[in-house]
Amino acid sequence: MQLSIIGTGYVGLVTGTCFAEVGHQVICVDNDANKVKMLQAGGIPIYEPGLEDLVQKNVAAGRLKFTSSTAEGVQNSDVVFIAVPTPPQVDGSVDLSYIERVARDIAAALTSYKIIVDKSTVPVKTGEKVAETIKRYCTSKVEFDVVSNPEFLREGFAVGDLMKPDRVVVGVASPRPAAAMREVYAPFNAPIIVTDINSAELIKHAANSFLALKISYINAIANVCEAAGANVQEVANGIGLDERIGRRFLNAGIGFGGSCFPKDLSAFIKIAEQIGYDFKLLKEVQRINADQMERFVKKITDTLWVLKDKKIGVLGLAFKQNTDDVRSSPAIDLCLRLAKDGAALRVYDPKAMEKARPLLPNATFVADMNAVAEGCDALVIATEWDEFKQIDLARAKKIMTAPIFFDGRNLFDPAEMEKLGWIYKSVGR
Ligand code: UGA
C-alpha cells in the first residue's frame, strides 16, 4: 500500500520504517528540514537498536522516502498516519495544537479519498475533533475517514514491538477504513482488535496507566517489604507466576519516568475529570511514584548524613535501559536532587551522556563505567542497564573513600554484596 507518516519522532520513524520493511511504499514527512536532510542521507536523529540499518535498507530499496511537504505525503498515499508530539501542559492536559495543525494541513492537501489515522497518544474524543477540523478546512468535497490506531512501542525495543506486535488496535466509525487497516497490518500477523474510535483512544491511556499502576503497586509492596524484613523480588516472583498477574513490570526501583507514563497518567486523570470522573486511583499511582524517589534519597542521606561536598558516582542517566532518552528520567531527577543538597556528582550512562550533559552542567561526565567510583563516598545505580552488573566491584572498592552502594534498580544480590564488604542498600529487600 501507499502510506505516509506525518512526524518522524520515535513513533513516526519506527512505524514508517517497519511499514516499509514489510513491503509498503512509505513517505515520512517532517517539517524540520534538517531532520529530513539527515534522514535522506541515511542518518537517524535518535538511538534505537536496529533502526538505522532498517532505515538505510528500505531507503536503498526505494520503499522509504523523506520529505518536508505534507501535500506530497498526503497526495501520494492511501492512508495518512499522524505521529506528531502531544506534549503535556502545566495543568496535566495535553497540548493538541500539533495534531490540529496537521489536520488542517491534511485538509488543505486532500484531493481524493484518504484514511487519516491518528497514531499519536491523545485523549479520548480527539478523533472526533480531527474529523471536524478536516471537514471544516477542506475546501473541496472530498471524502475521508478518521481512524485511531494507538502505538504500544517501548523505546529501546521499538523495532521488535512493531514487527511483532501482541495486538493491533484499530478504532473506526465504518467498515471501509477497517478493511484498509487490516491490509496495512496483514504482513505483521498480529491479532487486530477493531473498536469504535473513542474506545481505541481510551485503550492507549488505559494500557499505559495500568502498567504504571503495576509499577507503583510493586513499589508500595517494596516499602512494606522493607518494614517487614521481606524481599520484594521474591514477592514479585511469587505473585508474577500467577498468569492473571504476570511477572513483567513488577520491578521495584526509584519509580517510572520517560516521555509516556508520567504524561499519559496526568492526561488520563485530566480527561477523566473533564468528562466527570475523579480518577483517585491514578492520583495515588502518581503519589507513590514521587514518594519512591524521596524514600531513596532518604536512604542515601540517612547513610551519608551530610551530602554537601560528598562525591557520589551515579551509574545511569537514561529513563530506562537501551535508550538515550533522558526526558522525565528518574535518574536525572535523582542527580538534581543530590546536587541540590551539595553533592558533587560523577556520572556515566552507556548511551545518554550527550543528552544528559545540558541537564547536569555541574556534574563530571566519566567515559568509563569502571572509573566513575574514583574518589567517591558512594555509588548509586539509577537506571537498570544490564551492563552495570559487569562493573568491576573490586576495583571500585579500592578507588572509593568508603564502600557504600545504593542500588536503585535492584541489580545486585544483597547477600553477595555484603559478603564482598559493601554497605549495600537497595529497594524493598
Ligand atoms: C511505555 C509502554 O511500555 C509502551 O507500551 C508504550 O507504547 C509507550 O510507553 C508509549 O506510550 O509510547 P516506554 O515509555 O518506552 O514505553 O518505557 P517502559 O519500558 O514502559 O518503561 C517506563 C518506565 O517504567 C521506565 O522509567 C522504567 O525504568 C520503569 N519501569 C518499568 C520500572 O520502574 N519497573 C518495571 O518493572 C518496568
Q: What is the pLDDT along the chain (429 residues), one digit of tens a residue?
A: 999 999 999 999 999 999 999 999 999 999 999 999 999 988 898 889 999 999 999 999 999 999 999 999 999 999 999 999 999 999 989 999 999 999 999 999 999 999 999 999 999 999 999 999 999 999 888 999 999 999 999 999 999 999 999 999 999 999 999 999 999 999 999 999 999 999 999 999 999 999 999 999 999 999 999 999 999 999 999 999 999 999 999 999 999 999 999 999 999 999 999 999 999 999 999 999 999 999 999 999 999 999 999 999 999 999 999 999 999 999 999 999 999 999 999 999 999 999 999 999 999 999 999 999 999 999 999 999 999 999 999 999 999 999 999 999 999 999 999 999 999 999 999
**Separation of alpha carbons 113 and 116, rounded Å:** 10
**Separation of alpha carbons 64 and 56, rounded Å:** 9
- Kindly give the number of the ligand 1 atom that is closest to the alpha carbon of 158: 15
Ligand 1: distance of its center to the CA of 112 in Å?
Answer: 39
Judge contact between 141 and 288, C-beta under 8 A. Answer: no
- Kindly give the number of the ligand 1 atom that is closest to the alpha carbon of 257: 26
Sign of CA dihedral 252, 258, 260, 264: positive
What distances in angstroms separate CA 135 from CA 130, 147, 314, one per listed residue? 9, 15, 53
Catalytic residue among 18, 138, 225, 260: 260
- Kindly give the number of the ligand 1 atom that is closest to the alpha carbon of 254: 33
78 Cβ partners below 8 Å, 6+ apart? 1, 2, 3, 114, 115, 180
**Separation of alpha carbons 45 and 8, rounded Å:** 9
Ligand 1: distance of its center to the CA of 309 in Å?
Answer: 34
**pLDDT reported for residue 42:** 86
282-334 pLDDT, tens digit per residue, is 999 999 999 999 999 999 999 999 999 999 999 999 999 999 999 999 999 99
Ligand 1: distance of its center to the CA of 238 in Å?
Answer: 22
322 Cβ partners below 8 Å, 6+ apart? 49, 155, 156, 157, 351, 385
Q: What is the CA radius of gyration of the chain?
A: 24
**pLDDT reported for residue 77:** 97
* Ligand 1 pocket mutation, candidates 256, 266, 289, 333, criterion most atoms within 8 A of CB: 256
**pLDDT reported for residue 115:** 98
**Separation of alpha carbons 123 and 253, rounded Å:** 29
Question: Coil, helix or strand for 311?
Answer: strand
The candidate with the shortest Cα–Cα distance to 9, out of 35, 42, 43, 37, is: 35
**pLDDT reported for residue 141:** 86
Protein residue with its CA nearest to atom 3 in ligand 1: 154
Instruction: Give the pairing type, strands 311-315 and 192-195.
Output: unpaired
Instruction: Give the pairing type, strands 2-6 and 144-148.
Output: unpaired
How is residue 11 written as a grid cell?
A: 513513533
**pLDDT reported for residue 140:** 86
Ligand 1: distance of its center to the CA of 429 in Å?
Answer: 23
- Kindly give the number of the ligand 1 atom that is closest to the alpha carbon of 319: 26
The candidate with the shortest Cα–Cα distance to 384, out of 288, 319, 312, is: 319
> Ligand 1: residues within 6 Å at CB?
121, 151-155, 208, 211, 215, 249-251, 253, 256-258, 260-261, 319-320, 330, 384
81-137 pLDDT, tens digit per residue, is 999 999 999 998 999 999 999 999 999 999 999 999 999 999 999 999 999 999 999
Ligand 1: distance of its center to the CA of 154 in Å?
Answer: 6
Protein residue with its CA nearest to atom 19 in ligand 1: 154
Protein residue with its CA nearest to atom 1 in ligand 1: 154
First to last CA, the chain: 53
* Ligand 1 pocket mutation, candidates 10, 155, 324, criterion most atoms within 8 A of CB: 155
Where do the domains of the chain lie, and which CATH numbers do they carry? 2-190 (3.40.50.720), 201-429 (3.40.50.720)
Sheet holding 344-348, edge to edge: 364-365, 344-348, 311-315, 378-381, 404-407, 423-425
* Ligand 1 pocket mutation, candidates 164, 168, 208, criterion most atoms within 8 A of CB: 208
Q: Judge whether 18 counts as a catalytic residue.
A: no
The candidate with the shortest Cα–Cα distance to 184, out of 203, 212, 165, 205, is: 165
Ligand 1: distance of its center to the CA of 151 in Å?
Answer: 13
Protein residue with its CA nearest to atom 34 in ligand 1: 251
Protein residue with its CA nearest to atom 10 in ligand 1: 260
Ligand 1: distance of its center to the CA of 257 in Å?
Answer: 7
- Kindly give the number of the ligand 1 atom that is closest to the alpha carbon of 157: 15
